Amino acid sequence: MRVSIIVLFILFLMMGLTTERASAQIRGYNTMVGVVGGTNLGGTVKQFISQPGAVDLLVYRRWKGTVAALLYEHHFNITEIRGLEWFAGGGAHYGIWKDGKGEPPWVYRIDQDYKAFGVDAIVGLEYNFHLSNFYLGLYWKPAYNFQDFTDFWGDEAAFTLRYSL
């Protein structure tokens, strides 16, 4: 609970400090940091490597385990709505669940470790609030695992709140 309050305080502080330079940040940024919440809860760092292309690192908790996903995302403008973009891409993930603590749906024995790695696809929307440094996003990230749970994960969706540096 304390962590949530601290994160919200920092976000509001950054919003107040950046109103002057926000108009110059339409696409003049390279890095975004933020939080992820939905079927998972965690953080994200997005680094643009070209005008439409970005590398996105997601680190989050799911089923009491930890998962990291590294994705490439290609962004497309939606010209009818200023500040709205959609993106699509793919990448890979790796997750670990420690004995007695994790509850992934494929658990056979509670006293052993489980790992999962595989490939991901991602599609989503991202909206810039009135040319500020804050972006609200929504994504769907289906994945396929190659270890322990060798099957399709199609239920991973989340909101993101990002801040451009």
Mode of pairing for the β-strands spanning 152-153 and 65-77 = unpaired
Cα angle, residue 151 at apex, residues 145 and 155 outer, rounded to 5°: 90
Domain with residue 71: its CATH number is 2.40.160.20
Name residue 128's amino acid: N
In a domain, 24, yes or no: no
In a domain, 144, yes or no: yes
Domain count, the chain: 1
State the Cα–Cα distance between residues 19 and 5, nearest whole angstrom: 22
Domain region containing 47: 32-164
In a domain, 124, yes or no: yes
Question: 87-115: per-residue pLDDT in tens?
Answer: 999 999 998 877 655 555 555 566 667 78
Question: 20-61: per-residue pLDDT in tens?
Answer: 333 333 455 689 999 999 988 999 999 999 889 999 999 998
DSSP state of 6: H
